[in-house]
Amino acid sequence: MNTIKHFLFISLFLITSSSLFPEDRPYVILVSFDGFRWDYLNRDITPNLNSFAQNGIRALSFRPSFPSKTFPNHYSIVTGMYPENHGIISNSFYDPGNSVWYRMNDTVQTRDSKWYSGEPFWTTARKNGIITASFFWPGSEQQDSLRHPDYYKHYDHYKPYRDRVDTVISWLQLPVNKRPQFISVYFHDTDSYGHEYGPNSPEINESISRLDSIAGYLLDSINDMGFKDSVNVIFLSDHGMTETSPDKTINILDIIENDKCKIYDSGPVMRISPPEASLNEVYNTLKKSENHFTVYRKEELPSYYHYSAHELISQLIVVADIGWSLVKSSKRKGYEHRISKGNHGYEKDHTDMHGIFLAGGPAFKTNYQTGTLWNIDVYPLLSKIFSIEQSDSIDGKLERIEFILKERNN
Give the nearest distance from C-beta 331 to Zn ion in angstroms: 28
How far is 324 from 46, CA to CA, in rounded Å?
Answer: 29
Residues 245 and 341: beta-carbon distance below 8 Å: yes
How far is 309 from 61, CA to CA, in rounded Å?
Answer: 27
Catalytic residue among 16, 46, 70, 123: 70
Say whether residue 152 binds ligand AMP (CB under 6 A). Answer: no
Burial of 129 from C-beta contacts in 10 A (0-12 / 13-18 / 19+)? exposed
Give the nearest distance from C-beta 15 to Zn ion in angstroms: 45
**Closer to ligand AMP at the Cβ: 191 or 347?**
191
Say whether residue 188 binds ligand AMP (CB under 6 A). Answer: yes
How far is 369 from 292, CA to CA, in rounded Å?
Answer: 35
Give the nearest distance from C-beta 346 to Zn ion in angstroms: 12
Say whether residue 348 binds ligand AMP (CB under 6 A). Answer: no
The single residue among 33, 52, 116, 136 that binds ligand AMP, judged by CB under 6 A, is 136
Residues 210 and 216: beta-carbon distance below 8 Å: no
Which residues on adjacent β-strands are paired with residue 151? 133
Could you give the string, one character per residue 190-229, with x where binding to ligand AMP holds by CB under 6 A and - elsewhere? -xx-------------------------------------
The single residue among 100, 104, 169, 398 that binds ligand AMP, judged by CB under 6 A, is 104
Q: What is the end-to-end Cα distance of the chain in Å, rounded?
A: 47
The single residue among 46, 48, 61, 70 that binds ligand AMP, judged by CB under 6 A, is 70
Q: Is 351 a catalytic residue?
A: no
Say whether residue 138 binds ligand AMP (CB under 6 A). Answer: yes
Give the nearest distance from C-beta 140 to Zn ion in angstroms: 15
Say whether residue 61 binds ligand AMP (CB under 6 A). Answer: no
Q: Residue 168: in which H helix or E strand, if any?
A: helix 161-172
The single residue among 91, 221, 245, 251 that binds ligand AMP, judged by CB under 6 A, is 91
**Closer to Zn ion at the Cβ: 55 or 340?**
340
Give the nearest distance from C-beta 32 to Zn ion in angstroms: 8
Give the nearest distance from C-beta 134 to ligand AMP in angstroms: 9
| Count of residues engaged in binding ligand AMP, rule: CB under 6 A | 14
Of 46, 285, 29, 287, residue with least CA distance to 135: 29
Say whether residue 264 binds ligand AMP (CB under 6 A). Answer: no
- Which residue blocks in 198-237 are alpha helix, DSSP H? 202-223
Burial of 298 from C-beta contacts in 10 A (0-12 / 13-18 / 19+)? middle
Say whether residue 151 binds ligand AMP (CB under 6 A). Answer: no
Of 172, 165, 140, residue with least CA distance to 153: 140
The contact set with Zn ion (CB under 5 A) reads 34-35, 70, 191, 238
Burial of 247 from C-beta contacts in 10 A (0-12 / 13-18 / 19+)? exposed
Task: Cite the active site residues.
Answer: 70
